[in-house]
Structure 1
Amino acid sequence: MASNSPAPEGIELQEAPTAGAWGEWNPTEDSARPPRGKHRVVKQRGGLARSSTVLGVGVIAAVGASGIATAQDRPQVAISMPSLPDFGLGGAGGQHAEAEGSGAGAEAAAKPTGIIAQQTAGHTDAGATLVGRILQQAESQESAADSQARAQAERAAQEAAAAQAKAQREAAQKEADDARAAAEKEAKEAAEAKVEQERIAKLAGSYSLPTSAYTLTSHYGDAGSMWSSGHHTGLDFAAPTGTPAKAVAGGTITSAGWSGAYGYRIVLELEDGTEIWYCHLSSMSVTSGSVGAGETIGRVGATGNVTGPHLHLEVRKGGSTMDPLAWLESKGLSV
């Protein structure tokens, strides 16, 4: 039976004998035509030697013919080809599969395709794993950033709360200190006022107004040409002539007599050395010795440099004059 398989390129095969008449076939120089193309048989000098290529081709052709004859006697077997993904092989891969569509050829053709699929699946799994790791790392970094931001916000809130609490404590402490200071000041002033009242009450029994039924006409420090110093050095109590002049406190009379512009004058020295001058008197009842507070020592008059009857009262200490009104009030007297 003639073979239906195509002969290799460059080799022309003769028709093989039938199976019953098969015998040893020894191709000779006359029975084997020279191959076309680049593969040519080189004739050996011995005459009987043949090219190994020619012999190999003859053996392959014979075996192929026998195999084809045997295959035609066997029942056909359906071959199931798996569906393979297209990896860019195009028509060349399909043509190769059709050319190799029987038996071991189909199985051999499927193997490279499976390897490629496995490699592609491996690359896909590796890529998915890498993407997963990148996403996990990004999520971890984002979570860390969120945690840091929350921690910073909580720390800022705590610091703000602490600062506010501190400010409130300081404000409350300051308010308490101010209230305590005010209370202490008020208590101190009240205590001082009480002491002063007690002192004035005590002095009120020890001190007395210099006269009665009077009117204040000239005050300490008033300016005018009537006074030689240019200003008034005492306090004038205008009263009718003969009105009693009294000792303002217990003391000693150190001087009594005529004193020029002062007229008749009595000088009363107190225990602390303060001098009280009674001037313009119409008469003097006591001219020396000790006297008590409220004791009459003379009478109001108009002697000396005057414009009318009045008592000119001066308060001196250490040779200097002071305001008689303020001094009398300091002794608890209401002038």
Structure 2
Amino acid sequence: MASNRPAPQALQVPNDDPATAGPGDYPGFADTAPYAAYPGPDQPWEEWNPTAESVRPVRGKHRIHKKGGGGLARSSTVLGVGVIAAVGAGGIATAQGGKPPVSISLPDVASAAESLPGVGSLISDDAPSAPETAAAAAPLSSAGVPDADAQRGGTDAGEALRARILQQAENQRHQADDALRQQAQDAAVQKAAEQARAQQGKAEAAAKAKAAEEKRKKEEAARKKREAERLAKLAKSYALPTSSYTLTSHFGDSGTMWSSGHHTGLDFAAPAGTLLKAVHTGTIKEAGLAGAYGYRTVLELEDGTEIWYCHQSSMSVSVGQKVTTGQVIGRVGATGNVTGAHLHMEVHTSGGGTVDPLAWLRDKGLTP
């Protein structure tokens, strides 16, 4: 069986707690077992063979310092356990093989731990306990709670969610109300615009109608003016057949006194001997007795129209004679089929038809 070289005497780590310090923890203490194995600084190392009594743990010697309910042991405890384990292993090897114990070197645990981030503070004797207290006193997480809810004291996530849902619903309702109001405003604006367009259209139509009426009135006035001018001009070239008269029978009157059953001319009742005049310039086509018409004079105008003067008492012109407007051609009488002295005047067209003498005279600007 192989034997190990004798292990060097393990170092006794001084106890830095004055309340529990014992011999060997500080210089000047008596060297009593099991601390007698610790040599002075100038004494050589001696082999130590552990026995049952020497390896029995001394109660209270290796104190464990806890932090925050179950933290890591202090560095002195870790080093103590490491030293015991190393010494025990060397002693057992020496006892079993009778050979020199094996030298075991241990690293400086504290120095190695301090080089690791966050680990040195866990095993350090001087590490403060404030972070553990702060961590234990830290409040529960309020994730998902808005700052506004937290400021109002609402740190319950469910209540905060409910508040947000209600707020969103309220915002949506306000948006819907705003949309409805905007639609109503748009509809009102559109309706007002349509009414304005309708009113504008009515106004434009009324303006157009007024303009058209004014134009029509102007045109009518102009037409009347032209007609008046024409009639005035014609009046200078046309004349009434007699004067001091009364219209008795009109064109188209019915009766048994006329062979055709209706009156074919216009009667100017006037005293016998009243002068008869040419209504317009023309030529005497007939002049003589004509049966029921009595003495009759036919004046043919330039356009072929014939003017008949009937029931004359006397005639002042002869056939083929040229006469002018207003020239005397005879006198009122009662010859022929009559009931009294009067002028029976007829107007015949160039085609042989008869027209109303009253309308014809008015068309020439005369007012019988």
Note whether the superposition's TM-score is higher than 0.5.
yes
Cα displacement string for residues 198-230 of structure 1 (whole angstroms, at most 9, x for unaligned residues): 111111110111012222221112111001111
Q: For residues 321 and 139 of structure 1, what CA distance do their matches in structure 2 show?
A: 97
Residue 299 (structure 2) pairs with residue 268 (structure 1): yes
Q: For residues 213 and 174 of structure 1, what CA distance do their matches in structure 2 show?
A: 54
Partner of 1:125: 156
Partner of 1:329: 362
Report if aligned partners of 2:310, 2:345 keep a CA contact under 8 Å in 1.
yes
Partner of 1:319: 352
Partner of 2:38: none
Q: For residues 159 and 213 of structure 1, what CA distance do their matches in structure 2 show?
A: 76
Question: Comparing 318-327 with 244-253, which one deviates more in the overlay?
Answer: 318-327
Q: For residues 129 and 271 of structure 1, what CA distance do their matches in structure 2 show?
A: 116
The 1:120–1:329 alpha-carbon spacing in structure 2 relative to 1, beyond 3 Å, is closer
* Structure 1 residue 187 displacement after superposition: 0.9
The 1:126–1:310 alpha-carbon spacing in structure 2 relative to 1, beyond 3 Å, is same
Q: For residues 216 and 168 of structure 1, what CA distance do their matches in structure 2 show?
A: 57
* Structure 1 residue 303 displacement after superposition: 1.3
Q: Alignment partner for residue 337 of structure 2, among 280, 305, 314?
A: 305
Partner of 1:291: 323
Q: For residues 300 and 122 of structure 1, what CA distance do their matches in structure 2 show?
A: 129
Partner of 2:257: 226
Say which SS state the counterpart of residue 244 (structure 2) adopts.
Answer: coil
Across the aligned residues of Structure 1 and Structure 2, the Cα RMSD in angstroms comes to: 2.5
The 1:205–1:282 alpha-carbon spacing in structure 2 relative to 1, beyond 3 Å, is same
* Structure 1 residue 273 displacement after superposition: 2.0
Unaligned runs of 5+ in 1: 1-113
Q: Alignment partner for residue 286 of structure 2, among 255, 261, 267?
A: 255
Residue 217 (structure 2) pairs with residue 186 (structure 1): yes
Query: Could you tell me which amino acid in structure 1 is paired with residue 175 of structure 2?
Result: A
* Structure 1 residue 316 displacement after superposition: 1.6
Partner of 2:241: 210
Query: Could you tell me which amino acid in structure 2 is paired with residue 300 of structure 1?
Result: V
* Structure 1 residue 121 displacement after superposition: 11
Q: TM-score, normalised by structure 1?
A: 0.61
Query: Could you tell me which amino acid in structure 1 is paired with residue 167 of structure 2?
Result: Q
Q: For residues 209 and 324 of structure 1, what CA distance do their matches in structure 2 show?
A: 11
Map 1:1-335 to 2 at 5 A: 125-288=156-319, 289-317=321-349, 318-335=351-368
Query: Could you tell me which amino acid in structure 1 is paired with residue 229 of structure 2?
Result: E
* Structure 1 residue 250 displacement after superposition: 0.6
* Structure 1 residue 156 displacement after superposition: 0.8
Identical aligned pairs, as a percentage? 63
Q: Which runs of 4+ in 1 moved over 4 A?
A: 117-124
Say which SS state the counterpart of residue 242 (structure 2) adopts.
Answer: coil
* Structure 1 residue 242 displacement after superposition: 2.1
Cα displacement string for residues 54-107 of structure 1 (whole angstroms, at most 9, x for unaligned residues): xxxxxxxxxxxxxxxxxxxxxxxxxxxxxxxxxxxxxxxxxxxxxxxxxxxxxx
